[in-house]
Structure 1
Amino acid sequence: MMSVPRTTRRTTAHPDLTDPRVGAPLFSTWRVGTPERQRQTVEAIAETWTRRPWPARDLLSYHVYTGEDGSTLLHHSQWASEQAFEAFVKAHRQERVDEIDTAVPGIERVRLGRYRYHRGSAGRPGRVPGSIVIVDVEFDGPDPGRQRAWADAVLEALDAEPDPHPGGIAAHFHLSTDGTRVLNYAEWENARAHREALAAPGEGVGSPTGQWKRVQTWPGVKSSTVSRYEHALGLVPA
């Protein structure tokens, strides 16, 4: 008996970063230019996807976020495996891209990153994040051991933080499959809380402790960027 394709529905719920079924979390960025084009692109994505069946059983969710810069969109898709994503690319991706590009011409697709979930902070159950802060750290070469060690050092600094800002909710660390990057998907109560934490004494969101100094002076860090986003669209199978 053939299974009936599942439909696609919108959701306001944020993704569960710790879902054990997710074997291949993917993050990508698009540059669209203006806040109005951000809004138009989000709606084009929603329209394109909800008019079609959910494309794959192994796609657990797809979320889009608008950048505080007024230009960028962050995409986060949760796949069971990279093989499932590659099958989607071959069978379904191009027609969706073409329809979105027809609705909003001139989208610049900046980068697609392939990751594995590493670890996260305990979080504060029941709190819905109003701001997602993406910390993207790039190292000077591939080294999976260094990726893990750096992420673990940040979590140790967070655990030892003497004066944590009450607006912080959780931090989720992802390691790029090429061994060169760590992506921290940090959940905050709102953007103001994150800005207040950055403005406090010390570098970054932490106090001037030995643990944070170790993180900030880690050898081999090539670059580190911090970007704030708001959750704009969630798509899941119905």
Structure 2
Amino acid sequence: MPGATSPLPDLSRPDVGAALFSTWSVGTPERQRATVDALAASWNGRSWPTPELLSQNVYVGTDGDTLMHHSQWTSEEAYLTFVRAHRQARVDEIDAAVPGIERNGIANYRRYRGFDTRTEGDPRVPGCIVAIKADFDDPDPDLRRKWIDLVIEALETDPAPSPGLISADFHLIVSGARHLANNRVEVLNYAQWTSEEAYDAAIAADDPTPEWERVRHFPGFKGTTAKRYRFERSFVRP
């Protein structure tokens, strides 16, 4: 049986061929809790569906409405096989426990680069996960890579870095004929912060450097949206 674990998933593990992210809207904090309990019952009540699923992770939105799901697969094909053979029974069980869940689609990403501020013995722990989506008006993936490179350069050269930022992992959305549910041209930044307050302080202290100005005015960049989450639990391959 799979087990709930406390450590956050390793986003840089080399065997991840597909990082799938999706969100559910459930309405209230009480329904968030009930949905997490139903998810746990579903995952703990069955054997692990396939060795090609590496981890299944659940995050609770600080908005009192949203859940974010993040699953790590060896390939997109493995996920599609799971959908055909195993997914519906789990969905039906969860919907029976918490009717009326709104599922907002699922998208496939590949991690491109990361930025990590931790050193050996760092006592900080992530108290807030901020999922930041950056949108572009040009489908060229090389443009998005160049933008990520600029962001990391700006982070590395920032003269007053936020002490609350632990790490940022940048993902490129996978598009094409078999793209799962979202055809927006975007980048996903999965950022670990020590707390919501630390993130708010960093936003409020906005004092852009020339590097950050290049990020903001990069050709084709349309802007970002951000949602905040608390890591709830992870189910991992036995």
TM-score category (smaller protein) = over 0.9
Q: Deviations over 1:18-47 (max 9, x none)?
A: 111111001101101111111110110010
Partner of residue 60 from structure 2, selected from 49, 52, 66: 66
**Equivalent in the alignment of 1:170:** 167
**Equivalent in the alignment of 1:138:** 135
Partner of residue 190 from structure 1, selected from 186, 195, 200: 195
SS of the residue 1:119 aligns to? strand
TM-score, normalised to structure 2, is: 0.92
SS of the residue 2:37 aligns to? helix
Alignment of 1:87-106 (within 5 A): 87-106=81-100
Moved more, 116-125 or 180-189: 116-125
**Equivalent in the alignment of 2:185:** 180
**Equivalent in the alignment of 1:84:** 78
What amino acid does structure 2 have at the position aligned with 1:149? K
Q: Which runs of 5+ in 2 are unaligned?
A: 176-183
Following the alignment from structure 1 to structure 2, what is the Cα–Cα distance between the partners of residues 81 and 8?
20
Q: Deviations over 1:145-202 (max 9, x none)?
A: 11111111111110011101111100000000128110000001111111111111x3
**Equivalent in the alignment of 2:179:** none
Q: Do 1:123 and 1:171's aligned partners in 2 also have CA atoms closer than 8 Å? A: no
TM-score, normalised to structure 1, is: 0.92
**Equivalent in the alignment of 1:218:** 218
Q: Do 1:29 and 1:73's aligned partners in 2 also have CA atoms closer than 8 Å? A: yes
**Equivalent in the alignment of 2:25:** 31
SS of the residue 2:116 aligns to? coil
Deviation at residue 219 of structure 1 after TM alignment: 2.2
> Is the alpha carbon distance of 1:141 and 1:98 closer, same or farther for their aligned partners in structure 2, counting shifts above 3 Å?
farther
Moved more, 126-135 or 80-89: 126-135
Deviation at residue 119 of structure 1 after TM alignment: 0.5
Following the alignment from structure 2 to structure 1, what is the Cα–Cα distance between the partners of residues 92 and 117?
39
Runs of 4+ in 1 over 4 A off after TM superposition: none
Following the alignment from structure 1 to structure 2, what is the Cα–Cα distance between the partners of residues 155 and 131?
20
What amino acid does structure 1 have at the position aligned with 2:189? N
Mapped pair 1:158 → 2:155: yes
**Equivalent in the alignment of 1:75:** 69
Following the alignment from structure 2 to structure 1, what is the Cα–Cα distance between the partners of residues 223 and 209?
22
What amino acid does structure 2 have at the position aligned with 1:197? A
Mapped pair 1:15 → 2:12: no
Deviation at residue 111 of structure 1 after TM alignment: 2.3
SS of the residue 2:202 aligns to? helix
**Equivalent in the alignment of 2:42:** 48
SS of the residue 1:39 aligns to? helix
Deviation at residue 128 of structure 1 after TM alignment: 2.4
Deviation at residue 223 of structure 1 after TM alignment: 4.0
Q: Which runs of 5+ in 1 are unaligned?
A: 1-6
Deviation at residue 237 of structure 1 after TM alignment: 2.2
Following the alignment from structure 1 to structure 2, what is the Cα–Cα distance between the partners of residues 135 and 46?
26
Q: Do 1:24 and 1:81's aligned partners in 2 also have CA atoms closer than 8 Å? A: yes
> Is the alpha carbon distance of 1:123 and 1:19 closer, same or farther for their aligned partners in structure 2, counting shifts above 3 Å?
farther
What amino acid does structure 2 have at the position aligned with 1:76? H
- Residue identity (%): 53
SS of the residue 2:27 aligns to? coil
